[in-house]
Amino acid sequence: MKNLFLPLLLTTLFLAACGAADPAGAADDHANETAAHGAEVHLTAEQVNAIGLVTGPMEKRGLTTSLKANGRLVLPPDKSAQVSVLVGGLVRDIPVQEGQAVTKGQVLATMENMEFLQLQQDYLETSANLRALNADLKRQQDLHDERINATKTLERAQADQSVALAKQAGMAAKLRLFGTDPSRLSPESISSSFAVRAPIAGNLQHIAVTLGQFAEPNKPLFTVVDNSGLHIDLNVFERDVARVRAGQKVVFGHAGEPVGRHTATVYAVNKAFESDQQAVLVHAKLDDNGEELLPGMYIEALIMTDSTSAWSLPSEAIVSNGDEHYIFVEDEPNTFMQLAVRTGASELGYTEVVPLTALAADAKVVVKGAYYLLSELTKGTGEHNH
């Protein structure tokens, strides 16, 4: 025991591990030193070698505290599209399948509609009439300049041209909604068929129409999603929102995965409280879109909030018995003392440790084999009272 408990180092190590520690609390810990000391485990050199027991010092490391949260993978509005038509029609062709990748503008279906046929005819007739009206307007303008016709006649020609221009512009806009370029329309190219095209690039998530079906206007026929825009909506309790800000890292996993499988970065925190969830939404953009990540998936996450420098040990050096946490320190060769500790932040396999008693600066802590020592104590082997 002579090398283990050095009161001189109590204040230095305890305050470094705890940050702004409570002096009264430190005094209480020292007063209860006997309770914090555990039993000793005695091993032979052969046992130490057999279990691969390794000791090492506590290390001062930078650790990040984290905040647990859950939520779902979601898509922003501009990365998901419901494809419908403005007018009904018979479905004549569906050259795509669900799950297929599609490009923006790719044909998803071909439909037939007599109104579309009539629209093309009306546009061509209006365009022809407009050409005649333009010629008549020029003629009336020339006659007016020579004071041969009345101003009223010129004004009527101008009005007729304006009406025809408005009709042509309206029909041209409708044709573009069907995906038809009015400038390329001719009597030879008139057709009752028009194409339904993908408004965005992505994957075809759902097809809600079949061949020969009459597709009604404004009802979704296809759903296209672009998972490259996936992000996380996390529910953070009101009391914890102040700890979250843009730029913080998030590690997460979906059902059946470890939490640290994927990473994201917080980019926004809602300024409104979600009463149904009793939480505030935090939005995080994925750092890497894995193919297995899909919209709507439930995820569990850790938001990396604050960084701190603390005394720490490999996480496997810390063992638990009920709600209590312990480490083992080599007291004498092949003799190991159990000590109670408090734990703090954990990151990358290391955990912050606050011993409840003073610990020598050169103390040798068991960093591998602690669970074996705990099992020896539990079954009563090599145990004696301190």
Domain residue extents for the chain: 7-63+308-378, 67-78+227-306, 83-225
Instruction: Identify whether the C-beta of residue 92 lies closer than 8 Å to the C-beta of residue 211.
Output: yes
Is the C-alpha dihedral spanning 175, 176, 177, 179 positive or negative?
Answer: positive
CATH 2.40.50.100 fits 83-225, yes or no: yes
| Helix 23-31 × helix 10-18 angle, to 10° | 130
pLDDT at position 38 = 57
At residue 11, what is the residue type? T
* DSSP H/E element including 119: helix 114-145
Give 152's pLDDT tier (boundaries 50, 70, 90): confident
pLDDT tens, position by position, 8-60: 333 333 333 344 333 333 334 433 443 345 588 999 999 999 999 999 999 98
pLDDT at position 98 = 96
Q: How far apart are CA 342 and CA 17, in angstroms?
A: 10
Class of domain 7-63+308-378: mainly beta
pLDDT at position 337 = 94
Matching fold, domains 67-78+227-306 and 83-225: no
- pLDDT value at 70 more than 70: yes
Cα angle, residue 177 at apex, residues 174 and 178 outer, rounded to 5°: 95
Class of domain 67-78+227-306: mainly beta
Q: Quick one: how many helices (H) and strands (E) in the chain?
A: 7, 21
The residue assigned the tokens 């802590």 is: 365
Cα angle, residue 221 at apex, residues 216 and 223 outer, rounded to 5°: 155
Span 291-307, average pLDDT = 88
Phi, psi of 130 (to 5 degrees): -65, -35
Span 325-336, average pLDDT = 93
pLDDT at position 273 = 81
Q: For 8-17, 92-101, 223-232, 299-308, which range has the lowest pLDDT when averaged over its residues?
A: 8-17
Instruction: Identify whether the C-beta of residue 21 lies closer than 8 Å to the C-beta of residue 14.
Output: yes
* DSSP H/E element including 222: strand 222-225
Within 8 A by CB and 6+ apart from 261, the residues are 251, 252, 253
- pLDDT value at 226 more than 70: yes
pLDDT tens, position by position, 122-145: 999 999 999 998 898 888 888 888
Q: How far apart are CA 47 and CA 67, in angstroms?
A: 41
